[in-house]
Amino acid sequence: MSAQQPRACVFLDRDDTLIPNTTLPPPADPHPAWKPGDLSDPDRVEVLPGALEACRLMREQGFALVVVSNQGCVARGSATIADVEAVNARVGELFVDNEGSPLIDAFYYCPYHPNGNVPEYTREHELRKPQPGMILRAKDDLRLDLSRSWLIGDMPRDCESGVNAGLSPDRCLLIGERGEFPDALAAARHISKHAD
Ligand SMILES: [Mg+2]
């Protein structure tokens, strides 16, 4: 494949897809607006079982890997942009190949939420899943071929954002309790079997 050709990508939700989140206990000194799912401390980042192996497998298949994550905690005020970026940086450190090179090509997040406390971020936004803004932005930034791309997430809105971006519904894989696949690794194995 020519380097000029757009790359196929696997878009990855972050929280409860790559790293545990809603099952984390509250932080020691929670912000008044904290709620389960808000993660502001990079020291609390752990890798979900199978998630690292999943990313390594998909990278071996030649996919770009892009994280797309709603972070309404910024709009609620329980985390800052800097906190979200510090957590993403930690995820980037943990998800590496056997040589220690980063597996995640880029992180996109949406700090907006319609029911927030921070006026700057309190509104609906095209980046916020289930809207497709983060995927479309990544497509342009990284020259991605959406017709050969996939998505893995643990919430229906993750998959909806993929479909809204033009991905085939068959390529938007729901994992966890609500999904067809138990975890990211099972989804990655499905992708490796069906990739074109
Ligand atoms: Mg999630």
The pLDDT score that the predictor gives to residue 33 is 86
Q: How far apart are CA 113 and CA 180, in angstroms?
A: 28
What percentage of the chain exceeds 90 in pLDDT?
Answer: 86
User: Of 68, 67, 70, which Cα lies nearest the Cα of 125?
Assistant: 70
What's the confidence (pLDDT) of residue 182?
97
Dihedral of the alpha carbons of 133, 102, 5, 17, in degrees to the nearest 10: -40
| pLDDT confidence tier of residue 129, bands split at 50, 70 and 90 | very high
Cα(12) to centroid(ligand 1), Å: 9
Quote the CA–CA distance of 12 and 95 in Å, as a whole number. 12
Q: Ligand 1 centre and the CA of 1: distance in Å? A: 33
Confidence category of residue 78, pLDDT binned at 50, 70, 90:
very high
Average pLDDT score, the chain: 95
Instruction: State the Cα–Cα distance between residues 191 and 60, nearest whole angstrom.
Output: 12
Looking at the predicted structure, is the pLDDT value of residue 3 above 90?
no
Determine which one of 13, 83, 105, 183 is catalytic.
13
- Number of helices (H) and strands (E), helices first, in the chain? 6, 5
CA of 155 to the centre of ligand 1 (A): 6
Phi, psi of 96 (to 5 degrees): -130, 160
Residue tagged active-site, from 15, 38, 83, 183: 15
**Collapsed DSSP state (helix, strand, coil) of residue 10:** strand
Q: Is the pTM of this model over 0.85?
A: yes
Quote the percentage of the chain above a pLDDT of 70: 98
User: Ligand 1 centroid vs 2 CA: distance in angstroms?
Assistant: 34
State in Å: Cα 154 to ligand 1 middle: 5
Burial class (CB in 10 A: 0-12, 13-18, 19+), 48: buried
Ligand 1 centroid to Cα of residue 16, in Å, is 5
Give all domains of the chain, ordered by start, each with its CATH number. Answer: 9-194 (3.40.50.1000)
The b/e string for 53-74 (b: 16+ C-beta within 10 A; e otherwise) is ebbbbbbeeebbbbbbbbbbbb
pLDDT digits (tens, 9 = 90+) for 23-72: 888 888 888 888 888 899 999 999 999 999 999 999 999 999 999 999 99
Task: For residue 13, indicate whether it is catalytic.
Answer: yes
pLDDT of 195 strictly over 80: yes
Determine the distance separating the centroid of ligand 1 and the alpha carbon of 176, expressed in angstroms.
10
